[in-house]
Amino acid sequence: MKTRVCFFLICFLAGFPPAGPTVFPALAMGDYSKLVVPQIKYRGGSFKPRPDALESLLVQVANRTSIEVKRVSLDMELSNPGLFDYPLVYLAGNDAFPPFSPDELNVLRNYLSYGGFLLIDDNSSVSNSKFDASVRGTISELFPRVPLQKLPEDHSIFRSFYLLNQAAGRALVSPYIEGISIKGRTVLAYVANDLGGAWSRDKLGHWTHDMVGGGEDQRNRAIRLGVNIVLYALTLDYKKDMVHLPIILERLRRNQYR
């Protein structure tokens, strides 16, 4: 019952009418009164090359939706049992990192299976990076029978708040998002375009990284994608129902200049 109440509360805060039937996340729900997104801490490599990314994104989520956020920097190892208190976690980097242990992979697999969502962000801004190789190796160990696949353009991630048609970031390494979907629910999304670099602002509100190959329009599309991913992680894919299309279109018209 608590899970259902949390879901409908998030729908209300985001301005969406709940629709059913809907798949409700199980154990990885956490306290939705104020959204916090932990960043996965791992050994080796550089787990946090964009230290201001998540806090900056949460400011955008708070400004553009009615979701309440808590601007804290929370780094969390997979061995931390508190992982299951959060609906969304973030894994980033710009270099190779050692494989996770079998126990760590089992925890992450359970977290995703029970309702959690993982966003992976390659901050290197280059194709076929060392981080990319480590990510693909990790995912193949995590879900050996479920291949990483390109998400279709009509996936709910591209329309959960804004209507988008491709993946942007600080760089444009790949125009699409790759993901892992289980029983109709996407549990993991991998973006190769350095989302964190596009989101990041310093304490004075200045952008900390220049865009590569594009200007502020590209940055805004990267921010919109981040907002969409957060909304998808909280509400899943119920907006695929065509009854919501007029609402989405109206929201796009209202928010296109934000």
The string of pLDDT tens digits covering residues 146-184 is: 999 999 999 999 999 999 999 999 999 999 999 999 988
Q: Output the average pLDDT for the chain.
A: 84
DSSP 8-state code for residue 178:
E
> What are the start-end ranges of the E strands in 69-199?
75-76, 88-93, 117-122, 149-150, 178-182, 185-191
User: Which DSSP helix (H) or strand (E) runs through 217?
Assistant: helix 216-235
Question: Is 0.85 topped by the overall pTM?
Answer: no
15 pLDDT band, cuts 50/70/90, is very low
Domains of the chain plus CATH, in order, are 2-238 (3.40.50.12140)
- pLDDT for 89-102, tens place per residue? 999 999 999 999 99
Strand, coil or helix: what is 223? helix
* Residues of the chain above pLDDT 70, percent: 78
> Can you tell me the mean pLDDT for 135-141?
98
Predicted confidence at residue 12, as pLDDT, reads 39
258 pLDDT band, cuts 50/70/90, is low
- pLDDT for 60-83, tens place per residue? 999 999 899 998 899 999 999 999
State how far Cα 174 lies from the chain centre. Answer: 16
Q: Inform me whether the pLDDT recorded for 31 exceeds 80.
A: no
Predicted confidence at residue 142, as pLDDT, reads 98
Q: End-to-end alpha-carbon separation of the chain, Å? A: 36
Give the span between the Cα atoms of 74 and 3, in whole angstroms: 23
- pLDDT for 185-242, tens place per residue? 999 999 999 999 999 999 999 999 999 988 999 999 999 999 999 999 998 654 444 3
